[in-house]
């Protein structure tokens, strides 16, 4: 997605955590542009959950990003979970 917009993050996170969360959001965007591998999405999501373990915080970050990027983080993660091992998929 070509449009530039701020990705949600917390000032309490380390530089590494901010980069990891940004990589998660980037793979979500990629899933709407081209096929991405199930394992890539789920690995980035697992790391995101280590940084943001609270379900309510996760929902807030997802909502903020979804609105700005016109994507659905949760639907993308759900679609990844449905895929067979090694499969790539693209969101429509």
Q: What is the CATH number of the domain that holds 59?
A: 1.10.220.80
Q: How far is CA 59 from CA 12, 53, 64, 87, in A?
A: 18, 11, 9, 26
Q: Tell me if 49 is assigned to some domain.
A: yes
15, part of any domain? no
Contacts within 8 Å (CB) and 24+ apart, 2-7: 3/69, 5/68, 5/69, 6/68, 7/65
39 belongs to a structural domain: yes
* pLDDT tens digits for range 42-90: 999 999 999 999 999 999 999 999 999 999 999 999 999 999 999 999 9
Q: What total of structural domains would you count in the chain?
A: 1
Tokens linked to 50: 């280590």
Domain that holds residue 54: 22-83
Query: Would you say residue 77 lies in a domain?
Result: yes
Residue 1: pLDDT above 60? no
How far CA 16 is from CA of 9, 12, 13, 36, 48, in Å, comes to 12, 12, 8, 23, 11
Residue 16 domain flag: no
């Amino acid at each position: 997605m070509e449009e530039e917009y701020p990705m949600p993050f917390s000032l309490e996170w380390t530089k590494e955590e901010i980069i990891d969360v940004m990589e998660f959001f980037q793979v979500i965007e990629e899933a709407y542009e081209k096929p991405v591998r199930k394992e890539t999405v789920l690995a980035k999501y697992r790391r995101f959950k280590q940084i943001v373990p609270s379900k309510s915080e996760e929902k807030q970050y997802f909502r903020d990003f979804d609105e700005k990027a016109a994507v659905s983080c949760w639907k993308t993660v759900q679609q990844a979970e449905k895929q067979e091992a090694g499969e790539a998929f693209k969101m429509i």
